[in-house]
């Protein structure tokens, strides 16, 4: 309830409460001291990813807040599930980015959305371990966030044009509702699931490798 139905606020609460979730890179190499977190939250040289904090919020939303209020067991106003739904029915899920790890950039590269420089491509394909928080890892993760945001926009535009061309009011309503559900989170889920499927079939190139606790 402290987050007041804001996914972004809950991410910030998690970050303030759990240092292990503070997934950021300071490009100016500010020493990691006890005051580093306060510096990081306002520094223009810091790149924030927050994969684990954001996916925690998304999972809470998926389990308790995404369902419609009339859906059982949320229908009973006295039910504790209803109260949880009210807290977790976040109104700003579009503030959450994709979860930049290893699988999403792997499939984005596989389908041609992302293309690595030849030296980076060789290192990834040869399964060479990249430097944690190094330029290559930062570039892959940042490009993943940007690429998914672009995909969200493209999908929404496609659904919007389909709705305009459809003569059925019912179909237009369904398309509009589907468009509202499109976000970096839902696109991430789709990409992850496709990536897992293709990986089991050995149809993906190697993903980048980094020793990290952030993903």
Closest CA to 51 of 153, 137, 113: 137
Helix (H) or strand (E) holding 48: strand 46-48
Determine the average pLDDT of the residues in 92-117.
Answer: 97
Question: Residue 47 CA to chain centroid, in angstroms?
Answer: 15
Q: Is pLDDT at 98 greater than 90 in this prediction?
A: yes
Phi-psi region of 25 (alpha: psi -120 to 50; beta: other; left: phi over 0): beta
DSSP state of 132: T
76 — pLDDT class (breaks 50, 70, 90) = low
List the helix and strand counts (H, then E) for the chain.
Answer: 9, 2
Q: What's the pLDDT tens digit per position in 144-154? A: 999 999 999 99
pTM to 2 decimal places: 0.87
């Amino acid at each position: 309830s402290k987050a007041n139905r804001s996914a972004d606020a809950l991410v910030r609460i998690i970050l303030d409460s759990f240092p292990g979730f503070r997934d950021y890179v300071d490009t100016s190499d500010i020493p990691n001291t006890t005051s580093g977190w306060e510096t990081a939250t306002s520094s223009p040289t810091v790149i924030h990813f927050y994969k684990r904090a954001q996916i925690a919020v998304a999972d809470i939303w998926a389990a308790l807040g995404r369902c419609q209020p009339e859906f059982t067991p949320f229908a009973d106003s006295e039910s504790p599930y209803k109260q949880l739904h009210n807290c977790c029915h976040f109104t700003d899920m579009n503030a959450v980015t994709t979860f930049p790890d290893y699988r999403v950039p792997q499939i984005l590269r596989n389908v041609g959305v992302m293309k690595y420089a030849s030296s980076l491509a060789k290192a990834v394909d040869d399964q060479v371990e990249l430097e944690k928080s190094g330029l290559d890892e930062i570039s892959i993760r940042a490009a993943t966030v940007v690429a998914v945001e672009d995909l969200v926009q493209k999908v929404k535009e496609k659904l919007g044009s389909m709705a305009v061309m459809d003569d059925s009011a019912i179909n237009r309503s369904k398309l509009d509702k589907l468009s509202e559900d499109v976000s970096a989170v839902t696109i991430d889920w789709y990409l992850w699931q496709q990536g897992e499927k293709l990986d089991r079939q050995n149809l993906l190139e190697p993903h980048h490798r980094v020793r990290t606790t952030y993903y």
